[in-house]
């Protein structure tokens, strides 16, 4: 190989961030990003938030930026195999790219449950621009829409459909939508937001089968209830796209297992973003985190590490979700056993919640509370232990509290 060539498999936020970081940290060899989809790399989050499919597809970078950074893009061509012996990335059309190092940023795919009838037309999942185009076309034909799975993507799709005036039912197997992500104090507020906007939420039940001739006509729930459906969105979790990595001999356990710098146990293979199972320094727990901000930062850190500047992303995990024109934001991760403090005056339209573990702030979430959430994030960064009653008090100036806690964190204890 005349010059080193790094190949990034998966051209989305983790892969693109990694490519830019490699250049920023001095990698001067050849650099290629390959993606299965026939578009220049685009952002996934708008797909479930914007009612117009044209506005939903937003490039991560303008095309000229790739040229400026000498990043070759190969799009519309999946990688078929990674050949470690010959150090080759084999493409689906039989073409090959030499690669002294490969970064796998292949993300995740929508999980399918194998429910009878799930291959009927108008049953949608939502991961790609093509998925969004099909779903929007279905919404144009009108409802009712049944959303199976009350996670973030399903609820965002429900909000978009309601905003367009469709009749929407959300079916959630757990006691409430978002219970796992937000816990029993906050999840009811988000459920109320949907109910107040006219969504019917059916919880504690799953889908037994989909009914229809070629196209879905109804969803039959456990217990026998039959919901008429012109379209269905299924959002019941994801599976990691780790087939290439595992076929190439890398350990995969619920994702591609990597160390703190993104290395797999095959020396030429690295992984980042949603597909990577890593120990996040803030949580100390191994796993995948499927948030845009984490994928962006993890990709950048692994790209820097591959370029010879070992870097670890230790920013508090962050995500947002937009529903009915409101933005839910969360920093940190909560557990069921955490103490939850809701700021007084919480409503389904606006709230702020804090999670404490052994007295220390571990997570904060707010709906339409961007400033307060940012201030609380600064408290999170101090690893401080604010008093629950101070957090619950709406008159507390969180920025001032963060400053005080940062000062006392800087003073060594006697």
Ligand X SMILES: Cc1cc2nc3c(=O)[nH]c(=O)nc-3n(C[C@H](O)[C@H](O)[C@H](O)COP(=O)(O)OP(=O)(O)OC[C@H]3O[C@@H](n4cnc5c(N)ncnc54)[C@H](O)[C@@H]3O)c2cc1C
Point out which residues bind ligand X (CB under 6 A).
9-15, 34-37, 44-45, 47-48, 78-79, 105-108, 126-127, 153, 241, 244, 273-274, 290-293, 295, 319-321
**Chain-centre distance of CA 207, in angstroms?**
24
CB of 326 to ligand X, least distance (A): 12
Owner of token pair 């061509």:
77
CB of 61 to ligand X, least distance (A): 13
Nearer to ligand X, 47 or 199 (CB): 47
Nearer to ligand X, 125 or 382 (CB): 125
Q: Map residue 162 onto helix, strand or coil.
A: helix
> Pick from 311, 122, 89, 341: which is nearest to 233 by CA?
122
- Contact assessment for residue 287 and residue 254, using Cβ atoms and an 8 Å cutoff: yes
CB of 112 to ligand X, least distance (A): 15
CB of 63 to ligand X, least distance (A): 16
216 vs 232: CA distance, rounded Å = 8
- CA-CA distances (angstroms) from residue 408 to 196, 385, 392? 43, 11, 21
SS3 per residue for 27-89: CCCEEEEEECCCCCCECCHHHHCCCCHHHHCCECCCHHHHHHCCCEEEECCCEEEEECCCCEE
Nearer to ligand X, 106 or 313 (CB): 106
Neighbours of 59 (CB within 10 A): 13
CB of 352 to ligand X, least distance (A): 19
Nearer to ligand X, 60 or 346 (CB): 60
Nearer to ligand X, 79 or 356 (CB): 79
Nearer to ligand X, 188 or 255 (CB): 255
Nearer to ligand X, 35 or 369 (CB): 35
Neighbours of 165 (CB within 10 A): 11
CB of 92 to ligand X, least distance (A): 8
Nearer to ligand X, 37 or 225 (CB): 37
CB of 86 to ligand X, least distance (A): 18
- CA-CA distances (angstroms) from residue 355 to 280, 319, 320, 369, 408? 18, 16, 17, 16, 21
Which tokens is 299 given? Answer: 């990709």
- Radius of gyration from C-alpha coordinates of the chain: 23
Which tokens is 344 given? Answer: 């007084």
Nearer to ligand X, 247 or 400 (CB): 247
CB of 276 to ligand X, least distance (A): 8
CB of 43 to ligand X, least distance (A): 7
Q: What single string gives the DSSP state of each residue in 84-147?
A: TTTTEEEETTS-EEE-SEEEE---EEE-----TTTTSBTEE--SSHHHHHHHHHHHHT---EEE
């Amino acid at each position: 190989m005349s010059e080193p060539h790094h190949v990034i498999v998966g051209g989305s936020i983790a892969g693109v961030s990694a490519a830019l970081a490699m250049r920023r940290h001095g990698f001067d060899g050849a650099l290629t990003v390959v993606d299965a989809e026939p578009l220049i790399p685009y952002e996934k989050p708008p797909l479930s938030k914007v009612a117009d499919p044209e506005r939903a597809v937003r490039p991560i970078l303008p095309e000229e930026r790739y040229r400026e950074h000498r990043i070759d893009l190969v799009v519309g061509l999946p990688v078929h195999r990674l050949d470690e012996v010959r150090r080759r990335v084999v493409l689906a059309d039989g073409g090959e790219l030499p690669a002294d190092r490969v970064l796998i940023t292949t993300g995740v795919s929508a999980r399918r449950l194998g429910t009878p009838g799930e291959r009927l037309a108008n049953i949608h999942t939502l991961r790609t621009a093509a998925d969004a185009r099909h779903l929007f076309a279905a919404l144009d034909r009108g409802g009712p829409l049944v959303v199976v799975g009350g996670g973030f993507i399903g609820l965002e799709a429900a909000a978009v459909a309601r905003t367009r005036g469709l009749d929407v039912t959300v079916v959630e197997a757990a006691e409430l939508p978002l219970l796992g992500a937000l816990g029993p104090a906050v999840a009811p507020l988000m459920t109320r937001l949907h109910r107040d906007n006219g969504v019917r939420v059916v919880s504690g039940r799953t889908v037994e089968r989909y009914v229809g001739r070629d196209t879905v006509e109804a969803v039959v729930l456990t217990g026998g209830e039959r919901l008429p459906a012109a379209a269905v969105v299924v959002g019941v979790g994801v599976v990691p796209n780790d087939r290439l990595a595992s076929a190439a001999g890398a350990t995969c356990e619920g994702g591609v297992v990597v160390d703190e710098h993104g290395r797999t146990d095959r020396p030429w293979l690295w992984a980042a973003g949603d597909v990577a199972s890593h120990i996040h320094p803030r949580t100390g727990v191994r796993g995948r985190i499927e948030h845009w901000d984490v994928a962006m930062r993890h990709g950048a850190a692994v790209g820097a590490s591959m370029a010879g500047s070992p870097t670890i992303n230790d920013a508090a995990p962050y995500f947002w979700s937009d529903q009915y024109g409101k933005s839910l934001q969360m920093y940190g991760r909560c557990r069921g056993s955490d103490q939850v403090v809701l700021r007084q005056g919480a409503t389904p339209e606006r709230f702020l919640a804090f999670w404490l573990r052994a007295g220390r702030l571990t997570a904060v979430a707010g709906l339409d509370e961007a400033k307060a959430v940012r201030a609380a994030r600064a408290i999170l960064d101090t690893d401080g232990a604010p008093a629950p009653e101070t957090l619950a008090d709406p008159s507390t100036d969180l920025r001032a509290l963060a400053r005080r806690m940062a000062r006392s964190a800087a003073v060594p204890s006697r």
